[in-house]
Amino acid sequence: MAIGKDFQLTWLGHAAFHLVTPGGKHLLFDPWLSNPRAPAGRRRPVQVDAILLTHGHSDHLGEAVALAHEHPAAELVGNFEMCLWLKGKGAAQIRPMNKGGTQKIAGLDVTMVGADHSSGIDDDGVTRYGGEPCGYVVALENGFRIYHAGDTNVFLDMQLIRDLYKPELVMLPIGDLFTMGPREAALACKLLQPKAVVPMHFGTFPVLTGTPDELKRMTSNLGIEVIAMSPGQTI
């Protein structure tokens, strides 16, 4: 399915994505590669140029520490407190930032934006302060802009993300209970006005009950394509 030009986006289950940019850079978002919906038999990534972490919960931090050791040149992006924790775990290339900031990551403009959630880090049974949750807008080499919202409910400042950064493809959680469900995600689509939305963070566990079909029904009048991906699928 073609939504942009010269890039590939693969859903790895839950909120984990593997993005290959037009310039051949490999980015991982929230790399919980062992999640229950992870595509069976998929090899761990051979190339990782950057890892973008939205918050400290284990279903998003995932295998970030192990990947940092496997790919010591990979840039690990997160809030300031999370990056300090990652450094303490041996991550060599931390790139801390905070909301409203933009920096070059793997040659790309990466902007950290807000999210409305929590962010404790489970550190061997002890909960550490993980800073504040966030989302990311990434501008690809060809100008196409992607927004990974992380875990969040809908918030009115999504219209500021639209006005400032104009994301064309957005990844939004729809599972409900721990994030917004389809109803709030539909309003998020209305605020963001992207070309297409990829639902995420649903169906991993029985309590995450929201479905892409619900989101499609609730956004049918917006002219926004809802791309319901299967784990392991690439667009």
Q: Kindly report, residue by residue over 189-212, the tens digit of the pLDDT.
A: 999 999 999 999 999 999 999 999
Q: What average pLDDT does range 43-47 have in this prediction?
A: 93
CATH of the domain at 158: 3.60.15.10
Number of domains in the chain: 1
Quote the tokens at residue 117.
């959630």
Average pLDDT, rounded, for the chain: 96
Residue 159 backbone dihedrals phi, psi, to 5 degrees: -70, -25
Residue 225 is predicted with a pLDDT of 97
Asked whether residue 46 is domain-assigned, the answer is yes
Please name which of 106, 209, 226, 232 lies closest in space to residue 169, comparing C-alpha atoms.
Answer: 226
Could you give the CA distance from residue 202 to residue 204 in angstroms, rounded to a whole number?
A: 6
| 147 CB-near residues (< 8 Å, 6+ apart) | 113, 135, 136, 137, 138, 161, 165, 167, 169, 170, 171, 192, 194
**3 pLDDT exceeds 90?**
no
3-state DSSP helix/strand/coil % of the chain, to nearest 5: 20, 25, 55
Could you give the CA distance from residue 98 to residue 91 in angstroms, rounded to a whole number?
A: 19
Q: What average pLDDT does range 204-227 have in this prediction?
A: 98
| 43 CB-near residues (< 8 Å, 6+ apart) | none
Kindly indicate the confidence band of residue 107, based on its pLDDT and cuts at 50, 70 and 90. very high
Residue 159 is predicted with a pLDDT of 98
Asked whether residue 231 is domain-assigned, the answer is no
Please report the DSSP string for 105-117 in residue order: ETTEEEEEEE--S
Asked whether residue 48 is domain-assigned, the answer is yes
Could you give the CA distance from residue 75 to residue 50 in angstroms, rounded to a whole number?
A: 4
Q: Kindly report, residue by residue over 134-163, the tens digit of the pLDDT.
A: 999 999 999 999 999 999 999 999 999 999
Work out the percent of the chain whose per-residue pLDDT is above 70. 98
Domain assignment of residue 18, given as a range? 8-226
Asked whether residue 1 is domain-assigned, the answer is no
Quote the tokens at residue 205.
């566990």
Residue 165 is predicted with a pLDDT of 98
Q: Kindly report, residue by residue over 119-132, the tens digit of the pLDDT.
A: 999 999 999 999 99
